Amino acid sequence: MENMESISKILKDVLEDITPGKREKEELNKLSKTIIDGLYTIIQTEGLCDIVEDIVQVGSTARDTHLKNDYDIDIFIRFKRGVDREVLKETILNIGRRVIENLGGTSWIEYAEHPYVSGRIGKYDIDIVPCYKIGWNEGIISAVDRTPLHNQFVKDILKSKHLNNDIRLLKKFLKGVGIYGSDLKTKGFSGYLCELLVIHYGGFINTLKNAQKWKIGEKIVLDEIFQIYGIGRDYRFSDFDHPLVVYDPVDLKRNVAAALSKENFCRFIFYSRQFLENPSKEFFYNYHRKLTERVNSRDRGALLTLKIERDSNIVDDIIYPQMEKLQKSINKLLIENDFQILDCEIYATKDACYLSWEFLVWEFPNVKVRVGPPVFNRKVRDFVKKYPKHFIKDCRVCAYVERKYKDVYQLFEDIVSGKLKNRIKHPKYVSPVNGKVYRDIFVNRYMSIMRIK
């Protein structure tokens, strides 16, 4: 009870801090409308009405679920099915850039699955993105075709259920604990996922409370889905091998939480419980950083950082999974060689990838026990021929052999020289060959700083 009182005080304070003001919202909406009007004008004057279906503002600023000082304006131009992709591209580049520049802004082209226009007008970041108009539960044609439907779904519901502030709280909470964002670096919760969870559980605190009952593979189906699609509770939804499954009301074969890692799924459950038990504003403000600082104020094992040059044209969503893959494959090799890992991290700046390790055990005498076959086994013959320094232990033939790597730095030397090319993965944009090895340095992803032992 006491907690609940203090919680409502905390949430009130946080909301005051994160809710955009009335003027902030009006100004943003006015600029959105101006851009959309500008786009329609060009479309009409240039006779493009037969290929363009409509123009919609999307994103959290469109649904009023954004945090204060978020000046992102996302405009989607929906083309009719059947319009050639080339036409899509030409049209968007032509009219998108013109509108932004007519309003005194600067613009450029960005590339995702297909190109779109990005720009800046004053403090506002504008994206003008082409897509195809599709219906509910219909297959997509281009990658972002579902976005306007997401927008419509959430907006419609929030008209009657006033959960906008609860959504803001969940987003801020997840930011605070470091798991907001569905990019491949963060592997956390997307904004849309936050909206669906708060809608499903009817509020921020209820979401946190319900998360306490989650288990790995938790499945969530919004009530609205049964109404929209006219299906019963016995409907067989698709199976996913993800820790959390939230069926997309716009496409039942899609899991909105697909990007969420098991680790972050567990972190959410954990931090939710921590917050409910010991409510504090701290959770909403850089909590993960404070936690990392506290956790790392301790004695360290041997630290090692591998720095690899990065082509700054390659985006995080490609770089991070490749760093991860490389670290995993190096970890396997480290474990094979008996080096015990206490902690490891990846972090990328604009022009470098950092893979860091902390070792509990990093050097050995030059001897290793190789465990061979049971004495009852025929393979004993070959084993003793191969390893002359054998002995019997636990009914098996074992042997002392020389250790390949006496310390962990030797192993990393062979990694950066390319000697171990066949033993570890060499991802295209994060190849360890010619990387640099630094001792006594650990790069922490959350703190984003280099630590010297």
Binding residues: 60, 63, 72, 74, 127, 150, 171, 180
| Element containing residue 345 per DSSP (H, E) | strand 340-348
Three-state SS string over 397-414 comes to: EEEEECCCCCEHHHHHHH
Binding residue for a second copy (CB under 8 A) from 4, 112, 371, 375?
A: 375
Site for a second copy (CB under 8 A): how many residues? Answer: 46
Q: Which of residues 276-315 bind a second copy (CB under 8 A)?
A: 277, 291, 294-295, 297-302
| Element containing residue 293 per DSSP (H, E) | helix 287-295
Structure letter (DSSP) for residue 44: H
Indicate the pairing of strand 441-444 with strand 396-401.
Answer: unpaired
Binding mask 153-182 for a second copy (x = CB under 8 A): ------------------------------
Which of 112, 395 has the CB closer to a second copy? 395
Strand arrangement, sheet containing 72-79: 52-58, 72-79, 124-132, 115-121, 106-111
Distance (Å, rounded) from C-alpha 71 to C-alpha 75?
A: 13
The partner residues of 404 in beta bridges, in order of sequence, read: none
Question: Read out DSSP for 214-277?
Answer: --TTEEE--HHHHHHHT--TT--PPP--SSEEEEETTEEEEETTTT--HHHHHHHHHHHHHHHH
At 425, list the tokens: 């993965």
Q: Which stretch binds a second copy (CB under 8 A): 5-13, 143-151, 190-198, 208-216?
A: 208-216
274 is a contact residue toward a second copy (CB under 8 A):
yes
Binding residue for a second copy (CB under 8 A) from 112, 216, 371, 452?
A: 216
As annotated, the binding site for ATP includes 60, 63, 150, 171, 180
The partner residues of 87 in beta bridges, in order of sequence, read: none
Which of 21, 388 has the CB closer to a second copy? 388
The partner residues of 400 in beta bridges, in order of sequence, read: 369
Compute the least distance from the CB of residue 403 to a second copy, in Å.
Answer: 8
Q: Which stretch binds a second copy (CB under 8 A): 22-30, 261-269, 306-314, 414-422?
A: 261-269
Neighbour count for residue 2 (Cβ, 10 Å): 7
Compute the least distance from the CB of residue 99 to a second copy, in Å.
Answer: 46
Q: Is the Cβ–Cβ distance between 125 and 86 less than 8 Å?
A: no
Binding residue for a second copy (CB under 8 A) from 263, 311, 382, 440?
A: 263
The pairs formed by 202-205 with CB atoms below 8 angstroms and a separation of 24 or more are 202/161, 202/163, 203/163, 203/166, 204/11, 204/166, 204/167, 204/169, 204/170, 204/173, 205/7, 205/11, 205/276
Q: Which stretch binds a second copy (CB under 8 A): 99-107, 189-197, 269-277, 329-337?
A: 269-277
Q: Which of residues 327-346 bind a second copy (CB under 8 A)?
A: 338, 342
Which of 17, 338 has the CB closer to a second copy? 338
Which of 153, 201 has the CB closer to a second copy? 201
Binding residue for a second copy (CB under 8 A) from 369, 371, 433, 452?
A: 369
Binding residues vs a second copy (CB under 8 A): 214-216, 262-263, 266-267, 269-270, 273-274, 277, 291, 294-295, 297-302, 338, 342, 360-361, 364-367, 369, 375-376, 380-381, 384, 388-395, 397, 400, 402
